[in-house]
Amino acid sequence: MSKREQQRKKKEQKQHAAQQREQTRQVMTKVAMFGVAPVLLLFVLYTLFSQGRTYSTVEIADNDHIRGQVDNPVTIVVYADFQCPACAREHQTMTQLWPSIRDRAHLIYRHFPLTSSHPHAWTAALFAEAAGRQGRFWEMHDTLFATQAIWTGLPDVNGEFESYALQLDLDLEQLRADLESEDVVQKVRNDQRGGNSAGVRSTPTIFINGRMLATPSRSRITEVVNEEFEDSAAD
């Protein structure tokens, strides 16, 4: 076989090998599309639907915690973190302000635990939700904010939170079971997901009929509540 023929044969072999590699790549791509893609799609759909629905700042969920009369035209939604010092101050502000606006508004608390900076925030949220299963959400909510300076520096808060539960006359066995409940965990997660969708980036963030107010003053809250109330009366 001449040298030229040898070169031609090697060239043909290289071309053939390249064609085989391309065919293999195409087959693998099809396998990925028709094999992996449906599995991935199913995983995404499962994740979306298993997480549950989130609610906007002008909607009320069946499992929302509401203070005041729902028929009042002004909706105040607070996204907060029980370990956040600014949230504790907001809570004091709202507590002082509430008697003067309760005839016009209703208040909804939603969880937004910032676990990267507040390691006990998630546990506190779960305890509040579990207390809510026994009709004591707002009592636990108020207690956690009132005692924030006591428990925020503890290495383990479970015992401290259980002592609050006993003070509120809660059934500890039921509380412990509810802390592990998927519904309780999902409630906190969905509140946080809803907050992310609404543009919450820090706590506390307040929405009044959908208007975002980040760490507002008492006078600003009153001003916006009055504006929204007057607008609703004019409609």
Res 40: pLDDT: 41
Res 35: pLDDT: 55
Give the residue carrying structure tokens 């259980």: 162
Res 187: pLDDT: 97
Record the tokens describing residue 175, joined without a space.
Answer: 């509380």
Give the residue carrying structure tokens 């925020």: 152
Regarding beta strands 205-208 and 211-214, do their DSSP bridges make them parallel or antiparallel, or are they unpaired?
antiparallel
Instruction: Quote the CATH superfamily of domain 65-234.
Output: Glutaredoxin (3.40.30.10)
Q: What is the pLDDT along the chain (235 residues), one digit of tens a residue?
A: 554 555 555 555 556 556 656 665 665 666 555 655 554 443 333 344 456 789 999 999 999 999 999 999 999 999 999 999 999 999 999 999 999 999 999 999 999 999 999 999 999 999 999 999 999 999 999 999 999 999 999 999 999 999 999 999 999 999 999 999 999 999 999 999 999 999 999 999 999 999 999 778 999 999 999 999 999 888 7
Do the Cβ atoms of 111 and 187 come closer than 8 Å? yes
Res 49: pLDDT: 45
Res 7: pLDDT: 54
Q: What span, in angstroms and rounded, lies between the C-alpha atoms of 230 and 178? A: 42
CB burial string 22-58: b at 16+ within 10 A, e below: eeeeeeeeeeeeeeeeeeeeeeeeeeeeeeeebbebe
Regarding beta strands 65-67 and 105-111, do their DSSP bridges make them parallel or antiparallel, or are they unpaired?
antiparallel
